[in-house]
Amino acid sequence: MAPAPARPRRLGRFDIVAKIAGGGFSTVYLGKAGEQVVALKVVRHDLARDKDAIDMFLDEARVVSRLDHPNVIRTFEFGSDQDLHYIATELLLGHTLLGVWDACVKKKLSLRFDTSAWIAARVAEGLAHAHDIVDEHGKPLGLIHRDVNPSNIFLTYDGAVKLFDFGLAKVEGRRQQTSAGVVKGKLSYLAPEQIFELPLDRRADIFTLGTTLWEMTTMRRLFARPDDVDTVKAVRTGPIPDPRSVVPGYPDELAVIVKKALERNRDNRYANASLLAADLDAFLARAPQPNAGAQLLPMLLDTLLPGERARQMGWLRPSLVPPPLSSRPSRR
């Protein structure tokens, strides 16, 4: 078996410090340029010459470079070096919503209704921005994320919510086109129109965010089944229980919002993500602690995943800065 490729030492203006994540089509490294610390998403070495993988990555770079919203991961630049394509983004310290959800399940805890609604409202605001972006000529890109789920929602230690991973996003002018019969996204977080291969619009993302909200507030999976075929059937025609029948004391107003987000007939669904965010914020405004989400999020992360904040903060230590290029061994 061939040895794993060594990580690059430098990409563009960034020194590579460490590998911090990997999976799918890419690897994520910690990068530094002077005082700036970033996350570098890099096409995997074994896919560096795969045209489909590169096209998909360049499509994502084109999209994320145009996004500028507090609830979407911030992109600084993208480029290529040593035949490796990379995207430099802000380094997020915290955990995915999936990690938080799993920790709650393990500890037999539940997320608060107001915290869940606040997280979903912030994701909806990020989606609304993404759905409305235009190209350099002012033409709408018609972006649809197609992969809104707990693994692509990040919760930070400073109380922010960030939507990320636009690798499967549908936009006008993509280099990499989806083949007929191929469905993009995690099966248990698809919208029914994706299963039926209908033309998609932004309401598909609203359904998948609705699925995520239903799961956050019930601590149960909605459509996931033991095998893929049954999961697809569940998304298409399976029951969508009223959360009030699942969780005692579930707020009526929140249940109505969840139901509207999860309408299988998209004409009855929220027409856009801004309307969903507005209804969630109206619900929160009447909650006993209207600002509980941002205030409680750091405490929630520290309680569920003790020790992780210190480990991640270690990435920022000056001792992690690599030696200057002039003092490094030759790479030739």
Please list the active-site residues.
147
Tokens of 99: 């990690």
Establish how many alpha carbons lie within 13 A of residue 147's alpha carbon, considering only the half-sphere containing its beta carbon: 16
3-state secondary structure of 88: strand
* Distance from C-alpha of 6 to C-alpha of 328, rounded to nearest angstrom: 16
If phi > 0 it is left, if psi is from -120 to 50 it is alpha, else beta; for residue 141 that is alpha
3-state secondary structure of 92: coil
The residue type at 100: V
Please tell me what DSSP assigns to residue 91: P
Q: How many CB atoms lie within 10 A of CB 166?
A: 25
* C-alpha 111 chain-centroid distance: 19
* Distance from C-alpha of 289 to C-alpha of 299, rounded to nearest angstrom: 15
Sheet with 14-23, strands from edge to edge, namely 10-11, 14-23, 26-33, 36-43, 84-90, 75-81
Backbone angles phi, psi at 37, to 5 degrees: -115, 130
The residue type at 178: T
